Amino acid sequence: MADALVRIMQDSGEKWEDMLIFLPSRRAVRTVEKDLVRRVGHAVMLPHLVALGEGVDDEEYVPEITGDDVISNTERVIVVAKLLVADANIGRLSVALPIARDLVRMQDYLENEGVDAADIDWMELVDEKYAQHFQSKAQMLGILSQVMREYANGRQTSVQVRNAEIRNWINYFHKYKLVIVCGSTASVPATADLMVAIAAQPHGRIILSGKIDGRESDFELDTNPYNAEYKFLGRVGVKPADVIQIDVGQSAIDFMNYCMGNDTAPTQISNDLRHCHLVVCGREAQEAEAVAEIAERSIKDNKSVLVITPDAAGNQRIAVALAHRNIDADFSGGKSGAATSAGRAILNLLDAWIEKSADEFNLAYVKSGRNLFDTIADIVERYHPQFTPKCVIDDADSVLVWHAIKDLSDALNVAVVDLDVADARALIADALSGVSVRGAMNDGAGVVVLGTIESRMQTADVVILTGLNDGMFPSRGYENSWLPRALAQQIGLPSPDRKVSLQALDFMNLSCGPEVYWVRSGASGGVQMTESRFLSRIIARGGDFDTAVGTDIIAKIVADDSPNLCPLSYAPPSPPADWSDVYVTELEHLIHNPYSFYVKHILRLKTKDDYWLTPDARDFGNLVHEVIEKATDYRTDVLIAQMDARAHEILGRGSILFHFWHKRFCEIAPLVEKVFGQMPDGARAEIGASVKIPVGKNAERVVRARADWVWDGGVLDIKTGSAPSESQLKEGNMPQLPLEALMLKSGGFKIKTTKISQLPIMQFLQLKNNDVRLIEYDAQTTQMMIDAAYNKTQELFQMYSAGGAEYENRPNSDQKYRNYDDLVRAYD
């Protein structure tokens, strides 16, 4: 393409600085700049090079639309999601979000084609002859489209603005003596309009990609590589046979055209594709290693390498494989904001809070006036040292993350949307996924890794095409889920096969490089994969490509992937010192079975319930805790009714187990009424706190808790089984409630306290079957138990955090300390 472009530039006889040239991407602009300078060999006045899709940059240009006249995509998605939440089948913002995103995406596709969704009579379009679910969707589309038009109040969408800016270039052609579009497929309507205008100019030139040659009946198919170019030629009244061919040397393009066409007649075209090497890997990880092996061999031969990967996951695997071999690569094609260190750290922290407690987020959210950006800023300020992974909060990547969260926050404020931590996490993840973080181009790298679109007008000595499985390369384009396909095409939505067409053209052009590798994996996630239809067509047409090199590469990878095994150690685990925060409930594991603490707290493994497991004592306990916590009326009959209602939801009506649960509700409710009828004013349920335990002279470790009930002067723990015995508490072997009492005494709970809390009491509300009672310890006994728990905890931290003790497995009769016994390495 670069050779063809230079040919046209030279043949025109015009000065380069008098030319306006449109190229597929910014990367293409950068590549052409370097290529032109290389060809000349000295400083030179370059043409005006513009990436297609960018607006007019002329000094006389005055934008007709300013920032206040534009409604952001983020705001559109938030407003639509808020409207969708009203649907009882959706209910939550995090559930509505992907639906809203898909709807906005569909509206953007329509706007790209010049159609306003609000102008469509959706109910007339999807009438009674279509299935009810399509009619329901059409009704929703009609309502949302009208509401969004009224809400936008004349503001333009970003798609409308971008398309208008592309077309505005038409007014500036007269300033140049030669206007060229190079490498575009004219698949985007605004770009096609621009190209039509250029084609109508005496000084306009269009350089099409590939070599459009074959039967017009093939070009009319949505999946044909030249479908978009064929439609463009139709608009300018040019037959494919009349397109001027630029000879830039021998290539395999004629055989590629033959493969992608449907002409069954014999051909004399050479099938020589021996410059192409097929590499079939066993799995995706091996595919990344194959790419790294090819790149390493090529670099040793002083060859440049271009890697094409169609998906972000494959990109990450290749990055790891190249880094493992210390290969410097240019990944400036971009990565998602969610994949940056700052993005991952924020999402990881929110995940942890969703799993354990939302108190920290809720407090920060309320403190910031329910402003999401201020909340995140406060969280970053307080928790940055604990972020995983570590990140620099003011580097270029992080700044883009903060901008995205700020835009999201502004949209939430405009739409007046309140969040919980789960919704905040979903919205931030969605916002960051739309951010493309691009580093500076690494000009010195011998390997460049790009997506298919970015690869246009790029070249290298060795080209590696990865992910060549159907569904990946090619992948289908936008698949509309709101309408039957025939109606989608009727109103102007593009065919899902358009992306297949574009990727087919990319595949053909890239496969014409001097040395090409086609790499695919035979399985993904344990599922057998089908080779790309592009490869299937080449095989069916008898393409003569190489497989021997691929066999050698796989053999090398398998050999490197078979290291000598290290002997399995049966010693108790002794990981690096753990100083992370600990919840009081986990301390019991450290006391009674250190190995279960190691698995639960350090490895963070969770037991997964059997799918067929029926409700059990845990469900009963959770039910009782939930009803007591949320109750506003503690009368016995009201409590029993509420517990019965929840039991029916969990067990289903007619369950024999309900009879036994109801009997216990009747036993529990009178005591609950008595205890909570006497509960002091200001008592709080499910409230978090923490305390620092000194370890040695200069260290400390944080213990956290979430108490069932706390008030000025006391703490209460609800047990639907047996409460800890007095001896266990005095020995410090059940430290949960005593440490919660210590937190109250030291002001750890965010409640109003007086000097009474300096001498707290402890209560266990034991709701055990046939043994329902309140167990209370006075202030003196409580202090004794606090001291025992404190000393025991300090002793444990000294052993394990500071002393590096092994987390040995101790046999225990209590099942909750034995959940991980099957992971223990032990001889029979």
Q: Which DSSP helix (H) or strand (E) runs through 377?
A: helix 372-383
**Looking at residue 333, what is its pLDDT?**
64
**Looking at residue 764, what is its pLDDT?**
96
* Inter-residue contact 819 to 607 (CB < 8 Å): yes
Q: How many helices and strands (H and E) does the chain possess? A: 30, 23
Give the count of beta carbons closer than 10 Å to the beta carbon of residue 647: 23
What DSSP character marks residue 813? S
Per-block average pLDDT, block size 10, for the chain (828 residues)? 92 95 92 92 93 82 70 90 83 87 88 85 86 83 87 88 90 94 91 95 94 93 94 95 88 94 90 96 93 96 94 88 92 80 91 85 90 92 86 86 92 90 92 83 84 87 95 80 82 85 94 95 89 95 95 91 79 90 94 93 83 78 92 94 92 85 94 93 92 91 94 95 94 95 94 94 94 95 96 94 90 84 74
Distance between CA atoms of 629 and 679, rounded to whole angstroms? 13
Decide: helix, strand or coil at residue 471. Answer: coil
* Inter-residue contact 762 to 715 (CB < 8 Å): yes
Short-list 150, 166, 152, CA closest to 73: 152
**Looking at residue 828, what is its pLDDT?**
45
**In the block, which residue shows the tokens 């995205």?**
404
Distance between CA atoms of 626 and 143, rounded to whole angstroms? 39
**In the block, which residue shows the tokens 């830039």?**
248
Short-list 424, 426, 358, 346, CA closest to 387: 346
Distance between CA atoms of 689 and 667, rounded to whole angstroms? 32
Residue 124's alpha-carbon distances to 119, 127, 128, 481, 487, in angstroms, are: 12, 5, 9, 18, 11
Half-sphere exposure of 113 (CA within 13 A, CB side): 16
Distance between CA atoms of 541 and 732, rounded to whole angstroms? 79
**Looking at residue 827, what is its pLDDT?**
54
**Residue 184: partners with Cβ closer than 8 Å, 6 or more residues away:** 22, 24, 52, 191, 195, 209
* Inter-residue contact 597 to 807 (CB < 8 Å): yes
Provide the β-strand partners of residue 20: 48, 179
Give the count of beta carbons closer than 10 Å to the beta carbon of residue 657: 16
SS (H, E, C) 484-510: CHHHHHHCCCCCCCHHHHHHHHHHHHH
CA angle 388, 690, 739 (to 5 degrees): 135
**In the block, which residue shows the tokens 């004219």?**
186
Q: List for the chain the helix, strand, coil content (%; round to 5).
A: 50, 15, 35
Structure tokens, 178: 């030669």
**733 φ, ψ (degrees, to nearest 5):** -85, -10
- Quote the radius of gyration of the chain (alpha carbons, Å): 34
Residue 557's alpha-carbon distances to 83, 276, 291, 548, in angstroms, are: 53, 20, 10, 15
